[in-house]
Amino acid sequence: MAAFEVLNQKGEKVSDIELADGVFDLSVKKDILNTVVRMQLAAKRSGTASTKGRSEVKGSTAKMFRQKGTGRARRGDIKAPLLRGGGVVFGPKPRSYEIKVPKKVRKTAKKMALSAKNQSSTLKVLNKIDLEEIKTKNFVEILNALNVKNALFIVDDIDDKVMLSARNVPSVKVLHIDGLNVYDVLKYEYVILLESSAKAIEGRLT
């Protein structure tokens, strides 16, 4: 079992917690993480770029001038790709950029991402976050106490006081465990788990 110190929001140790090695201390394979991150980024692409080909552009199909005797190119109609306003050759069409990755691989990648943070000592566990009011200053005080600036907070309960207090802090994101993903875990320097969310993640990924 992987052992972690449980801190309070003042940065003081209050207890210890043990979490499964199979989730928080796996051997990390970069190729698996790379595949899943590419899958996530590809899924964000809209794939709606579209151009009109020669047959789709509006314009006359009449030959612009006679074939011979003008000294000019043997031009066909005005919709030719070489002319201004003509069709586009091999231009983009709407498409899907989806990359299919097996469910087991995606699940393994989440474990490896969390393990990578643990192994680099950038994974912290908090007992809870308790804010009396919606105030960014109060949330920044928690960050200062934990000595972090760039962090992903993973919570198991949507608390508007926490969500709204954190949303204006640069380089900080509060994420519900339902949205746990490899890209966000790797993107932020620190990952901060609540004690309850750590147990919930362990249960889901074991």
Q: Which of 115, 101, 125, 104 is nearest to 185 (CA)?
A: 115
pLDDT digits (tens, 9 = 90+) for 5-52: 999 989 899 999 999 999 999 999 999 999 999 999 999 999 999 999
Q: Does the pLDDT of residue 3 top 90, yes or no?
A: no
Domains and CATH numbers, the chain: 2-45+100-205 (3.40.1370.10), 51-91 (no CATH)
pLDDT digits (tens, 9 = 90+) for 95-153: 999 999 999 999 999 999 999 999 999 999 999 899 999 999 999 999 999 999 999 99
Does the pTM surpass 0.95? The reply is no
How far the first Cα of the chain sits from its last, in Å, is 12
Q: Distance between CA atoms of 135 and 157, rounded to whole angstroms?
A: 19
Q: Which of 204, 3, 14, 1 is nearest to 127 (CA)?
A: 14
Average pLDDT, the chain: 94
pLDDT digits (tens, 9 = 90+) for 152-200: 999 998 889 999 999 999 999 999 999 999 999 999 999 999 999 999 9
Partners of 172 in the β-ladder: 151
Q: Does the pLDDT of residue 2 top 90, yes or no?
A: no
Question: With pLDDT > 90 as the criterion, what percentage of the chain qualifies?
Answer: 90
Once rounded to an integer, what is the mean pLDDT over residues 71-87?
A: 93
For the chain, count helices (H), then strands (E): 7, 6
* Six-digit token string for 134: 């919606």
pLDDT of residue 63: 94
pLDDT of residue 62: 94
pLDDT of residue 159: 87
